[in-house]
Amino acid sequence: MAATHDGHSICVVLTGTGSDGTLGLREIKAKGGVILLQDPDEAEFDGMPQSAILTGMVDRVLPLAEIATALIRLAQSERSVEVRNDPDGPLEMERALLPKVLAISRARTDRDFSRYKTATLLRRIGRRMQ
């Protein structure tokens, strides 16, 4: 799903043992997908939900009864951020703001993205903003 739907995937992790779901979860999240998780406190077996939580990639932890509603809401919502796909390159405003975004990211995560290509960074930031 992650490879073919490019960010339009939703991963739902339910009760279970082991960490099988974590591999798919990582792939879907890397492509910009959404991760929903059954609350481990109400899961019959909490191994898989706990493994998902340890990744730090879960978007929402919900009671089982609320997962269907969340799926419907996500499926019906449209992307609210318009991501430009301009072959001429980024606007001057985007170029001016990018160092500020990178500084905030570095301060919060201690990761330095300053050597990445500008177009790649802007595309990935736009995808995450969705």
DSSP 12: E
Amino acid 12: pLDDT: 93
Reduce the DSSP state of residue 61 to 3 states and report it. strand
As to burial, measured by CB atoms within 10 angstroms (0-12 exposed, 13-18 middle, 19+ buried), residue 47 is middle
pLDDT at position 80: 57
- Same structural domain for residues 108 and 56? no
Within this chain, do residues 19 and 52 fall inside the same structural domain, yes or no? yes
- Shared-domain flag, residues 61 and 104: no
Decide: 130 and 7 in contact? Cβ < 8 Å: yes
Residue 99 structural domain: 92-129
For residues 49 and 37, the answer to whether their CB atoms sit within 8 Å is yes
Separation of alpha carbons 26 and 95, rounded Å: 30
Single-letter amino acid code for the residue at 122: L
Indicate the pTM of the whole model. Answer: 0.61
- Helix boundaries (H) for the chain: 2-5, 20-30, 47-55, 64-76, 92-109, 118-129
Examine the domain organization and report whether 66 and 111 are in the same domain.
no
CATH of the domain at 29: 3.40.50.180
List average pLDDT for each run of 10 residues in the chain, which is 130 residues long: 80 86 87 90 90 91 95 76 57 82 88 85 75
